[in-house]
Amino acid sequence: MAEKKTTHKSNKEKAVLVLGIESSCDETAASVVSNNFEILSNVIGSQFEYHKPYGGVVPELAARAHAQTIDVIVSRAITDAGISYQDLDAVAATGGPGLIGGVLVGSTFGKTLALVNKLPFLAINHLEGHALTARLTDRLDFPYLLLLVSGGHSQLLIVKGVGNYRLLGNTLDDAVGEAFDKIANLLNLEMPGGPNLEKLALCGDSTKYLLPKPLHGRPGCDFSFSGLKTAVRYKMDQLGNISSSDKADIAASFQKTVCDVLVDRCANAIKIFQEEFGTNQSFVVAGGVAANKSIRAALESLSEQQGIKFIAPPISLCTDNAAMIAWAGIERFSKGFFDNLDFMPKPRWPLDNI
Ligand code: KG4
Ligand code: ZN
């Protein structure tokens, strides 16, 4: 176990400092976080401009862009934190799941820094980064119920501890973020699809189009979004020439339907969770889609009805960032869950199997 070091902030106060690196999709990010729940730096380089002409993330371009910028982003994170590499206690990098080219760039960079600076290396499951963020922002105790909604995942999990997850429900087809991105594409919105669809929905009538709500009212906690996406496509074909106000109505109706589906599935999960763990617990939403204000509001009102405390981390910590990777590093560091430098990045890495 590495010896604890002193932060730049105070000579008396000892803190564990972990550098986190995130590169699993189209953000190159680095951050330094302390075990005092402090984010000392949080640098994010977006690749939107690279991928915009293609209407989606191109894996090969993403990997190249990570390789081009990662050194600058990591140095910025160290400088912004006001520390040097010698002040770090460990280096944590996303080890999967994600686009493998990017994960290879970030994790190899992290391993190299760990080797050169004689620091422990921590390979972080990206989903665990999202899952543990609420412990950084809200100092939450285990266990809690988690709705994890991102570009690649839609899951309901019970978070029992670091590396200890029980899956209650999963998507049977598309992830909810993927559905947002695909509908945004159909509506000819620019990247990033999800946030732009949310903006457009603000000017639309959410009751204008009645769309199917897959699995709504059924027992269990699974999700399905591909039928909803197809229904939107048929509706658009049917309408033919679509005005900008039609587009806003479609965006608003789609978003409202997603909210209804999420609320229905989460209501089942809350019941299951409360039966086992009682009512004095929390329900957390995490992942990029948790940045959506309508979804946050719908889940908050469900939580009020069901008598469970609702926690949604700040929007900047819901979408991909490296502070969540550094924090998961702090959590794993405190448990002594280190990884060897021969860790192989994993394109697929289920959270209930780490
Ligand atoms: O967690 P994240 O940043 O990356 C992954 O791990 O996938 O999530 C990205 C996903 C994308 O599908 C994006 O469109 C969606 O989250 N997203 C949103 C919003 N912000 C990001 N979806 C709906 N509303 C938003 N405001
Ligand atoms: Zn993510």
- Is residue 291 within 6 Å of ligand 1 at its C-beta? yes
Tell me the percentage of the chain whose pLDDT exceeds 70.
Answer: 96
Whole-prediction pTM value?
0.95
Distance 6 CA to ligand 2 centre (A): 31
Ligand 1 atom closest to Cα of residue 150? 8
Residues 6+ apart with CB under 8 A from 141: none
User: What is the reported pLDDT for 188?
Assistant: 95
* pLDDT beyond 80 at 303: yes
Distance 192 CA to ligand 1 centre (A): 8
* pLDDT beyond 80 at 1: no
User: What is the reported pLDDT for 191?
Assistant: 87
CA dihedral 216, 220, 221, 224 (to 10 degrees): -50
Mean pLDDT calculated for residue range 203-230: 96
Task: State pLDDT tens for residues 140-169.
Answer: 999 999 999 999 999 999 999 999 999 999
Cβ proximity of 70 and 106 under 8 Å: yes
Mean pLDDT calculated for residue range 119-135: 98
130 burial (CB, 10 Å; 0-12 / 13-18 / 19+) is buried
Tell me the percentage of the chain whose pLDDT exceeds 90.
Answer: 92
User: What is the reported pLDDT for 151?
Assistant: 95
Cβ proximity of 250 and 236 under 8 Å: yes
Using CA atoms, how far apart are residues 250 and 45, in angstroms rounded to an integer? 32
Distance 287 CA to ligand 1 centre (A): 7
- Is residue 268 within 6 Å of ligand 1 at its C-beta? no
Q: Which two tokens stand for residue 217?
A: 């009212």
CA proximity to 142, closest of 18, 277, 259, 261: 277
Task: State pLDDT tens for residues 17-73.
Answer: 999 999 999 999 999 999 999 999 999 999 988 998 888 899 999 999 999 999 999
User: What is the reported pLDDT for 327?
Assistant: 99
